[in-house]
Amino acid sequence: MTQDELKHQVALAAIDYIKTLIKPDSIIGVGTGSTANLFIDELAAVKDKFQGAVASSDASAERLKGHGIEVFDLNSVDEIVVYVDGADEANKSLCLIKGGGAALTQEKIVAQVAKQFVCIADESKAVEILGAFPLPVEVIPMARALVGREMVKLGGDPVWREGVVTDNGNQIIDVHGLKITNPEDLEAKINMIPGVVTNGLFAHRAADVLLLSTQEGVKTYS
Ligand code: 5RP
């Protein structure tokens, strides 16, 4: 199977997984990226089984609406039964690096509200130690240089993702060269830097379930 086929395989597995959780009045959380897009496309087939969705990006909201799935503002929603999203890296503790698609802040917010966070990924995303994928950090534009200098002090090599503006009007710094052995600690330290909106470590709110697509099928970790 190609990587795209692996992503499709896990998108289908996620549909099977959420079918056991959703009810006609359920709101589900939907992530961002190519794997999440495949999930959204498959979600269309079961759209009569839940009420609607909260999206973690404008792009996902548009894709959901294109399939006739109602998109809710998070502020009008009491409960999200399950949040399904991809990842750039996942370790054995189900801590993640996310934000390759620049949607990390809204992803983290929706994940925090969700009762269950199901991460869907192909096997290339599974790692022993997080950090080979550059860690995205969303910053208030005027703080970009300050945050960059602070990231150097934390051992990283920051690179401005030039030309990218997030859905929140901010900028992204990708931090290379980190070997993240304590994701909870680093997540908290980076979030303490003034001007950081959030960073792409999902450790304090890690995934609850990882559906990992392999050549031998989809493996479930929790
Ligand atoms: C977007 C994300 C994505 O989940 C992550 O980048 C994985 O994307 P893909 O499914 O395209 O590999 O965090 O901000």
Model ipTM?
A: 0.98
CA distance 218 to 201: 24
| 31 Cβ inside 6 Å of ligand 1 | yes
Encoded tokens for 62 = 């548009």
Residue closest via CA to ligand 1's atom 8 equals 33
pLDDT of residue 222: 96
Angle at CA of residue 175, ends 174 and 180, nearest 5°: 130
**Nearest ligand 1 atom to alpha carbon 37:** 10
Q: Is 156 annotated as a binding residue?
A: no
pLDDT of residue 66: 98
Q: Is 195 annotated as a binding residue?
A: no
Catalytic residues: 107
pLDDT of residue 210: 98
Kindly report the backbone phi and psi dihedral angles of residue 88, in degrees, each rounded to the nearest multiple of 5, phi listed first: -90, -35
Parts of the chain with a pLDDT under 50: none
pLDDT of residue 21: 96
pLDDT of residue 197: 98
CA distance 10 to 5: 9
